[in-house]
Structure 1
Amino acid sequence: MDIHGIPIGSIWTAIRWFPRFFLSKYFPRERLAALQYVDLAPRNESATLNLGEAASFELWLQIINLSPFEVELDRAEFEFHYAGATLKSSVLKKQTFLPGQITLIQVSNIVPDGLANQIVRNRAINFSDMYGALSGHIEFNCKLYPFPRQIAHLAGVRPRIINENMRASVLRAE
């Protein structure tokens, strides 16, 4: 039997019709979590750190659902580590991903003044060309069962820094 001409989407569609018992044996929670690809968005600026008066950070993550099931992002918590500061954010908006769907989600939050000052000082003492890292925990739901996805350590995040000079001048004046 020649299966080269069959699109993978039709195979996934056929698999979804199997009984839940068989599907849960073939797709345990760990496998479903591994089939959710999470990384920084590959184009433009995926990370921005604004150190102005109202300091904030913004990350764009790309999620690809490689499983044959419709998956719902239930909630997520992220930590962005940069220049000795840990910046936290949560995503509470539920989103549904179809099989094979590629989606961008925004992770953002304010940066307290103390952490923004710490980032400016560390960038001045060390070198300004620093890398950050992202870690997190995501909870997904699907028709088989809910499952978690850990993001252990996405290293090599180089954020675009905005308004660093403004905050540095305020720190020098103090």
Structure 2
Amino acid sequence: MGPVIGEDGVARCPWAGGPGVMRDYHDTEWGRPVQGESAYFERLTLEAFQSGLSWSTILAKREAFREVFAGFDAEVVAAYDEGDRARLMSDVRIVRNRLKIAAAITNARATLALREAEGLEALVLSFCPERPPAPATTEEMGTTSPESKALSKELKRRGFAFVGPTTMFALMEAIGVFDPHLTGCHRRGAAG
């Protein structure tokens, strides 16, 4: 399936065809580059929490995630202890998954360790594909790539968790490591 024309006459990726939170996310954020450690840590964390769930579920809980993870300040999250884990597990406003909560804390600590090297942002960007995909249809869209597999492997080597190749591909799409929009979508080429 190629781009769909919404009731507003605009061509979009099919998952964002109707009005609502998914369309808003598609039109204003998905595929646009982000900057700074906390922005990268946030997207990495949210993609991990999304694993096995719908993205709309995560978007609906995003403000609560931002609150409970201290605006995705890696230093604060890295210091979380068992009391914080229990607090997070009892907070109905977020996805309460013990392994994903543990991964967020682990990844905050690994993010801090990267400060002594290139940093999370530079590391992720170093896996930008030489020839970005340009799918015309959803059937042509990938869920992994050689770059997402390599990024996953490198992040795991550096102590990160819940960073499989599919999750890293979704991260790369979300933060504009490459333009994820279908050719013909009004956002294709507009992400900067």
Q: Is TM-score (shorter-chain normalized) higher than 0.5?
A: no
More strand by share: 1
TM-score (norm 1): 0.26
More helix by share: 2
Q: Which has the higher contact order (CA 8 A, sep 6+)?
A: 2
TM-score (norm 2): 0.24
